[in-house]
Chains A and B, each alone.
Chain A
Amino acid sequence: MTCTEFLAQLDEMLDQPTSAPLRADLEEHLRSCEHCEITLNTTRKTIQIYRSHELYELPDDLRDRLHKAILAKCRKC
Chain B
Amino acid sequence: MSSPIQSQGTAEVHPDVLLVERARQGDMQAFEKLVRQYDRQVFRIAQHIVQNREDAEDVVQDAFLKAYEKLDQFQGNSKFYTWLVRIAVNESLMRLRKRRTGRMVSIDEDVETEEGSMPRDLADWSPDPEALYGQSEMADILRKTIQGLPPGFRVVFALRDVEGLSTEETAETLGLSIPAVKSRLLRARLQLRERLARYFKRRDQKKAQDGVK
Contacts and interface: CB of A to CB of B under 8 A. Distances in A.
B186 A49 contact: no
Nearest to A8: B186
Contacts, number: 111
Interface residues on B, range: 35 or more
A1 interface: no
A56 B56 contact: yes
Interface string B132-172: 00000011001100100000000001000110000100000
A73 B35 CA distance: 13
Interface residues of A, number: 35
A38 B47 CA distance: 30
B65 interface: yes
B124 A70 contact: no
B122 A53 contact: no
A10 B61 contact: no
A55 interface: yes
A58 B39 contact: yes
Describe B's contact surface by its main secondary structure.
Answer: helix
Describe A's contact surface by its main secondary structure.
Answer: helix
Given A38-B122, A51-B162, A69-B61, A56 B193 contact: no
16 contacts: A8-B186, A10-B186, A38-B122, A38-B124, A39-B190, A42-B200, A45-B129, A46-B193, A50-B146, A50-B161, A56-B47, A66-B39, A71-B32, A74-B28, A74-B64, A74-B65
The 8 tightest CB contacts between A and B, nearest first, are A56-B47, A46-B193, A74-B68, A58-B43, A70-B64, A43-B193, A39-B119, A35-B122
Given A51-B161, A51-B162, A56-B48, 4 more contacts: A10-B190, A11-B182, A11-B185, A56-B53
